[in-house]
A and B are shown apart, each in its own frame.
Chain A
């Protein structure tokens, strides 16, 4: 595994992604998702909204890192809030 040059932050990052996927699987087994339309222009399932949330989180982070002097933790907080809003009302 040493060739993968792991670091603590990236390990935490991938563990949380894995945890999210596992959580989504369990959630899906307990109560299957129903496709619905929220404030997004398209009808989405739970998994779609997670994907949209994570992808936009990536771009939020890139934007904050590249073009502002703000802390990356602000990007993380904004992304987390955005993900929750998206999951609930998207």
Chain B
């Protein structure tokens, strides 16, 4: 294994992708950086502003509040979706037609476009015609997502759990299916309890897919836009205005390109930092384990 001749020429095969990424991501990102230090009024009218936009964005109360809301939202949905997804994957049928049927059923929410999810829940929660809104009202529970911030939050979280837990469940399901039967046989010989099987066989074997699930769900929820926008429009007040909605209002609504560029970069750096920390932590947790640990 170790006496392979290193041949780095294979890296040349990555070049086309690099060119593609350069045009689709790197050059636009550079432009955003350029915009963030200027006040661009038109093709020939632009002024260098230096760090002014960054300063005002970092000290903007509304944005700071949106940032905190965003973090809480991401943490809450991760805390619900990851355990729930693992749980669903564990009780899903393992073979036969039931397995396929459950897989298809569970995938359905993932196929619905974001805007439509928002509309579905918007109608679902209406007090006059929506099943849930009407049902809760008939039960005598006060429920109004356009007036009560708590209701709006609960509904958005419920909606996100409904929409995205299947992804976590599917990733975990595929992770579980890839565990060789021999591990379970060994566990049976040891008369290991269900919990021990989960804790020492299934969970360690799931680490890789869980990294992907946590990363995907974190980044996705951190950039959530269409669903809450359609459901609550960010309200009541600004109770459910998340970061990307603040950004869109600024960049598209008010055409404040300089401030929104500065804000996008801060947003991007936070996502980059969190993703890197997640990735490194989990990859190092695996590295530290002794090789005979089986993970």
Closest 3 A/B residue pairs (Cβ): A66-B58, A65-B51, A5-B34
**Number of chain B residues whose Cβ lies closer than 8 Å to a Cβ of chain A:** 27
Nearest A residue to B266 via CB reads: A62
Residues of A with C-beta under 8 A to B30: 4, 10, 14
Known A2-B43, A5-B38, A5-B40; 14 more pairs at CB < 8 Å: A4-B31, A4-B34, A5-B46, A7-B37, A7-B48, A9-B37, A9-B48, A10-B33, A43-B287, A62-B269, A66-B54, A66-B57, A67-B59, A72-B50
In the complex, B185 has a CB within 8 A of chain A: no
User: Total contacts A to B, CB within 8 angstroms?
Assistant: 56
Interface of A is mostly: helix
B33 pairs with A72, CB closer than 8 A: no
B58 pairs with A67, CB closer than 8 A: yes
Interface range, A side: 20 to 34
In the complex, A39 has a CB within 8 A of chain B: no
Contact with B along A1-31 (1 / 0, CB 8 A): 0111111011001100000000000000000
Contact with A along B123-144 (1 / 0, CB 8 A): 0000000000000000000000
Nearest A residue to B60 via CB reads: A66
CA distance A7 to B41 in the complex (A): 15
Residues of A with C-beta under 8 A to B273: 55, 59
Partner of B33, one of A3, A13, A62: A13
CA distance A62 to B46 in the complex (A): 23
In the complex, A81 has a CB within 8 A of chain B: no
CB of A10, distance to nearest CB on chain B (Å): 5
